[in-house]
A and B are shown apart, each in its own frame.
Chain A
Amino acid sequence: MQTKMIDKQWSEKYPEVGKGPVSTEPNISPEYFELERDRIFRRHWINMGRVDEIPSAGKYFVRELEICKVSILVVRGNDDKVRAFHNVCPHRGNTLVLDERGQCPGRFGCGFHSWAFTPEGELAHVPDEENFFDLDKSKLGLTPIHCDVWEGFIFINLAPEPAETLREFLGGVATQLDGTPFSEMKLLKTYKVEEAANWKTGLDAQNELYHLPFQHRYTIGNALVMKDNKFCRFSNVNLYNYHSVWSCEYNPNATQLPTEAVMQRVDNALTDVRVKQRISDFDWYLIFPNMALLLFNGVSGDFFMTYNFWPIAVDKCVWEMRYHFPPAENVGQRLAQEWTIGRLRDTLMEDAFQHEKIQKGLAARARPDMVMQDEEITIRYFHEVIEREMARA
């Protein structure tokens, strides 16, 4: 076992991170939420999805970034480049694309007056063009949004000029995960749940394992809780400029469930996708501000998940969960993946329940702060980064 049961080891590794109580105000204040729009979500790189979702020219998806009241069209051009645009017709402001995803049939046509745009965002056709005044089509393309891709993850930045490149923003996370074979693991399942909780309340609750032996005792606790690590302490923690990662080991002596045992026998795929960038059996990255990236050591190949917590209101968010697995070679492997998805899904349904109960408790203002232990350092650090970014006028 790599996990060392040393008390307060992470604060020793990162002494600059505080130890005192953490204010509840950012999770419950409507004024704070309003400021987050400009200082967090309009200023930093935000994950939209993966390039695998739009594998060929003209494929597109639309994201509603509700906190910023912006609809974003992400599309792969005929030149293979992935771009993001405001999903708005430059003529008179109509929403251009109404479908959540699809294939552009050569042109995006506006439903209002049939102005037509190429997948690269250029204005291609205006009906009755002669009747406009000095119309310069080259200046009336779709309004671009800064867009960049790292290891297949598409990010956008709504700042007029982003303060840093995506690469600079990702910093140590990119260094750690460069070359990870993400594209060999395909999106198999997406869940969304609308929660009566602040987006940070959900993210905070996921950002530790201290709750695992208790809240998840019937679902997944057994897989990680060990005799000599009964509180699921981390085997490693890294903090980066904006982001963080914690890692843990599986319990090698976990009692196998009957169906789990069958699944392991029938899951006999020949290919074995492995992520050598994994720090331990399970790595949980917080990618600032609202994304988590989870890497798992899987039975027949590694797999990964992403979470995106989409803010809607101070006490409302949508939690989006995506599972990516190596493509199944046979029915046995696929069923084993469905079993893994199902077990985690039930665990996450417990989490979603808890997020709402926590939000209710915080909003009651019974206390002005939350108390956190050493294993909650990544939550504490996330709140420090939020406060730091909010303080930038």
Chain B
Amino acid sequence: MATTLPKPFRDLEPYMAWSLATERERIAKRVASSMDEIIEFHGVMSKRLEEMVEYLNQYPYNDMPPDAQSLCNLALSLVEVSMLVEMYKNPDNLNMVEAERFVAYQ
């Protein structure tokens, strides 16, 4: 995975900790982060999401250069936290099984 993002998105590099390749890692990050951190990440990414997708659409989903893949992983992390911020707001409200019990394949 590249440690840099494509040129137009270099300003998002402070959030590279969210650029995670697998759903499992993204869920773990969501669970380990405070609501304030999540809200900040969501706020910054949401404003750029459409622009990110426009850029990424030049590549096939399964065959991107490393910097574009890093950007795509950021978008996937936004998807991962968007429910939390936009719907439940407070993760402590939720009665769910622990995320690590939900095993994802593919």
Contact = CB atoms under 8 A, between A and B. Distances in A.
A193 B102 contact: yes
Contact of A187 (B75, B96, B106): B106
B86 to A, nearest CB: 4
A63 interface: no
Contacts of B102: 191-193, 345, 348-349, 352
B95 interface: yes
B17 to A, nearest CB: 20
Given A219-B83, A342-B83, A193 B97 contact: yes
Contacts of A328: 61
Interface string A231-261: 0000000000000000000000000011110
Contacts of B72: 331
B87 A257 contact: yes
Nearest to B42: A259
A190 B79 contact: no
Nearest to B59: A331
Given A265-B50, A331-B72, A332-B53, A190 B106 contact: yes
Interface string B30-68: 000000000000000010011001101101010000000
Interface residues of B, number: 32
A262 B49 contact: yes
B29 to A, nearest CB: 14
A259 B78 contact: yes
Contacts of B105: 189-192
Contacts of A191: 102-105
Interface stretch (A1-9, A11-19, A333-341): A333-341
A188 interface: yes
A259 B79 contact: yes
Nearest to A321: B102
Q: Which of A190, A194, A345: most chain B CB closer than 10 A?
A: A345
Interface string B71-95: 0100110111011001110000111
B57 A257 contact: no
Contacts of B101: 193-194, 352
Label chain A's interface by main secondary structure: helix
A308 B5 CA distance: 41
Contact of A257 (B49, B82, B103): B82
In the complex, which range does the number of interface residues on chain A fall in? 35 or more
A29 interface: no
A260 B101 CA distance: 26
Contact of B57 (A259, A331, A339, A356): A331
A61 B106 CA distance: 15
Most buried by A among B76, B97, B101, B104: B97
Nearest to A334: B61
A338 B26 CA distance: 13
B97 A266 contact: no
Nearest to B26: A342
A381 B27 CA distance: 38
A218 interface: yes
Contacts of B75: 335
Interface in A252-282: 257-260, 262, 265-266
Contacts of B83: 219, 257, 342-343, 346
A257 to B, nearest CB: 4
B99 interface: yes
Nearest to A354: B95
Contact of A266 (B53, B61, B76): B53
Given A193-B97, A258-B86, A343-B83, A335 B104 contact: no
20 contacts: A190-B105, A191-B104, A193-B97, A194-B101, A218-B87, A218-B94, A257-B86, A257-B87, A258-B82, A258-B86, A259-B79, A330-B57, A331-B53, A331-B56, A332-B57, A335-B76, A342-B79, A349-B97, A350-B95, A352-B102
Interface of A: 187-194, 215, 218-219, 222, 257-260, 262, 265-266, 328, 330-332, 334-335, 338-339, 342-343, 345-346, 348-350, 352-354, 356
